Structure 1
Amino acid sequence: MNVAHEVELLVQEIQRLGSKNADGQVTVKFGVLFNDDRCANIFEALVGTLRAAKRKNIVNYQGEMLLQGVHDDVEVVLLQG
């Protein structure tokens, strides 16, 4: 799968699993994404896809890299989609 396509799928999954914050942006906790069965089947490397989406300013989150367990409560914010 190419990166652009995986980022598109990531946007769809964030919209499916997330909820709107006070600013009207869709947010989802990293742990929710990571532990979702559908996401696990779609993304071989969820962390890599998130990093690519962050570099393209499609999502934002605190830190450089998210790790399962440690960063489960970090909010992933959808900036566009």
Structure 2
Amino acid sequence: MNVEHEVKLLVEEIQRLGSKNADGKTSVKFGVMFNDDKCANIFEALVGTLRAAKRKKLIHFDGELLLQGVHDNVDIVLLVQE
């Protein structure tokens, strides 16, 4: 799978799992995504896909790297609406 395709799938999964925040943007907790069965089946390396999407300025989250357990309550915010 190529990175562009995985990032597109990531946007779709954030829309599926997330909800609108106070700013009207869709956001989801990292722990929700990490523990979702569908995401686990789609993304071989969820953290890598998140970093690629962040570099493309499609999403925002605090920090550089998200780790399961430690960062479960970190919001992943979708910056684009598709």
TM-score band (shorter)? over 0.9
Alignment: residue pair count: 81
> What amino acid maps onto 2:17 in structure 1?
L
CA distance in 2, matches of 1:80, 1:73: 21
Structure 2, unaligned runs of 5 or more: none
TM-score by length of 1: 0.99
* Cα distance in 2 for residues equivalent to 1:51 and 1:14: 14
> Which 4+ residue blocks in structure 1 deviate beyond 2 angstroms?
none
Cα distance between partner residues in 2 of 1:70 and 1:56: 24
Q: Aligned with 1:27: secondary structure?
A: strand
Structure 2 counterpart of 1:21: 21
1:56 is aligned with what amino acid? K
What is the CA–CA distance in structure 1 between the aligned matches of 2:5 and 2:42, rounded to whole Å? 11
* Structure 2: distance between partners of 1:19 and 1:6: 21
Give percent identity, aligned residues only. Answer: 75
Question: Which residues of 2 match residues 1-81 of structure 1 at below 5 A?
Answer: 1-81=1-81
RMSD after superposition:
0.4
